[in-house]
Amino acid sequence: MKASWIAAICALVLGGGMAPATHGAPAPIVGTYAGSDEGGPALMHIRGAPPRYRVDVQTGTSGCGGGVAGVATFDPKGRLVLTATDGGMTCRITMTRIPGGWAMREESCMAYHGDMCGFTGVVKRTGK
């Protein structure tokens, strides 16, 4: 019994590719989310299974709109990160879990939307 306890502590300390610590089992992330981002409404779909998810993010309002889709994985800090490259420019959307949804932050995504909107915002699960 003592040896198995010591082995468990060693596994926790050494990490060995374990996911970031959470309180209880993590909630499933696959689904549809809606909310608002820079310039208007936002819609996000997450499909797939660990370690790689297919994520589609869309934004749109009168005079501005866009979307990006690609593969997203969790970084060491527990954030879901979507990267997509178009014409040599890489768009990165970092999604941090919040109660009921995600806070999104974009970097270098202008090739995927207009000047008056963006992918930085908050989306909540829609129940789908």
**pLDDT at residue 86 above 70?**
yes
List, for residues 87-127, the tens digit of each pLDDT value.
888 999 999 999 999 999 999 988 888 777 889 999 999 97
Three-state DSSP state, 20? coil
List, for residues 26-36, the tens digit of each pLDDT value.
568 999 999 98
Beta bridge partners, 105, equal: 94
Q: Return the closest-CA partner of residue 112 out of 54, 70, 73, 75.
A: 70
Beta bridge partners, 58, equal: 43, 67
> Residue 27 has what pLDDT?
66
Q: Is residue 7 part of a domain?
A: no
Q: How many domains does the chain have?
A: 1
Would you state the structure tokens that stand for residue 80, as one six-digit string? 């879901």
Q: Is residue 11 part of a domain?
A: no
Q: Is residue 33 part of a domain?
A: yes
CATH of the domain at 64: 2.40.128.120
∠ Cα 16 18 23 (to 5°): 145
Q: Return the closest-CA partner of residue 61 out of 123, 125, 115, 124.
A: 115
Task: Pick the range with the lowest mean pLDDT from 11-20, 48-57, 68-77, 90-99.
Answer: 11-20
Q: Is residue 2 part of a domain?
A: no
**pLDDT at residue 45 above 50?**
yes
Task: Pick the range with the lowest mean pLDDT from 48-57, 61-70, 118-127.
Answer: 61-70
The count of other CB atoms within 10 Å of the CB of residue 105 is 15
**pTM given for the model:** 0.75
How would you classify residue 4: left for phi > 0, otherwise alpha for psi between -120 and 50, otherwise beta? Answer: alpha
**pLDDT at residue 70 above 90?**
yes
Would you state the structure tokens that stand for residue 100, as one six-digit string? 């009921």
